[in-house]
Structure 1
């Protein structure tokens, strides 16, 4: 079946001398594609630049039931980024996020709300100047779609601790994984913030690093298949 849909590139791996295997999150779910002769053909419509992580494409492909790899017949960049591919700091964020999404997204089923969130989040990142806390808000929002966002967070400020293992606010420590004091205040502030209020966060580098580590640990505790991103250390040096 031939289908045309929007897609966000997650990864691209060279296969042999001339082919490319591309993994995308699309409007119809997670899909992998084989792009033939992309490194050999100089006159083809498709180039490797189409498949840089987080590129937003419109892909036409032939989908055959039972196959894990599909073949792209046509593609175009439907949202050309203005800064995301040339700004060093934004590129560090993009590499980190694409690695996180490669780890987390496992289902082939359609999830249009998640796709719309990713689409708009990356457009926002591309259009803004102050993005030091983007990855924190992005991960926090992503947890909503994964179904692991903390419980009873509406009354968060009245509790002394947040239990990372059980995902609840509490006044009693019941596990070895918890946050309190300033880390808890910053976590609560992050929990209440979306992209349009991101300038209100005002986190310094130490706060940002602590929160990033908390979010990564939370993902590790709640998603057994989640692996700590290799690009994490690079992100920490920049932000």
Structure 2
């Protein structure tokens, strides 16, 4: 079946000498993988590969076969042309990191318009704003809404947050109780929109500490989730 769908590029992998396997999150079918045959062979093909940079927003005409693991792209074009996402060093580090997180968290092969819209609009926000040092923190926190483990916002006045249960508590229970600076920042971010992120001032140490906390939260709620390999690069860029 031939369909047209929006798509976000999650990852790409060289296959054999001249082929690419590209994994995308599509608006109509969720996560799909595509085999681009011979795309590295010619200059025309190399131009085409430029479309498939990490987290690029595309419009694809695809041949979808539910019985196959690899699908075919008949036509690809840029849906939103980024102005800075792949050229700004800080934003490029965020893109590398978030694409790895999304590759390991987005598994479903079904339509989810609200999640697709969240990814689409937040990436456009990142492309259009210069102050991006805390973007990935709020992005990951809000992403948990769509993954099913967003923190319960009742009892924000309590002194601890239980990472395992995803709720605020009056006392420290178990091994995953959050308090102190990370708790304060969590409460701030739960009430913050992207346009207000510049009001939150963090040191590199505070940012890394909270990011490690969020990644632990993902590990506790998503089976098989591991810290992205690009985390070290991200921390170096924002140090």
Q: Normalising by structure 1, what TM-score? A: 0.96
Counterpart in the other structure of 1:55: 56
- Calculate the aligned-residue CA RMSD, in Å: 1.3
Shift of 1:181: 2.0
Unaligned runs of 5+ in 1: none
1:109-124 maps to which residues of 2 (within 5 A)? 109-124=110-125
Report if the CA contact (8 A) 1:186-1:207 is conserved: no
Counterpart in the other structure of 1:235: 234
Report if the CA contact (8 A) 2:18-2:39 is conserved: yes
Give the total of aligned pairs. 237
The question of 1:155 aligning with 2:155 is answered yes
Report if the CA contact (8 A) 1:93-1:135 is conserved: yes
Counterpart in the other structure of 2:200: 201
Shift of 1:117: 0.6
Report if the CA contact (8 A) 2:154-2:168 is conserved: no
Unaligned runs of 5+ in 2: none
Paired with 2:10 and 2:77, the residues of 1 have a C-alpha distance of 16
Paired with 1:149 and 1:20, the residues of 2 have a C-alpha distance of 35
Report if the CA contact (8 A) 2:97-2:228 is conserved: yes
The question of 1:14 aligning with 2:11 is answered no
Shift of 1:191: 1.4
**Superimposed CA distance per residue, residues 61-90 of structure 1 (whole angstroms, 9 cap, x where no aligned partner):** 111121111000110011111011111110
Shift of 1:42: 2.7
Paired with 2:45 and 2:178, the residues of 1 have a C-alpha distance of 54
The question of 1:86 aligning with 2:87 is answered yes
Report if the CA contact (8 A) 2:6-2:58 is conserved: yes
Over 6 Å off, 4+ runs: none
The question of 1:219 aligning with 2:231 is answered no
Q: Normalising by structure 2, what TM-score? A: 0.96
Paired with 2:231 and 2:133, the residues of 1 have a C-alpha distance of 14
Change (3 A) 1:85 1:127: same
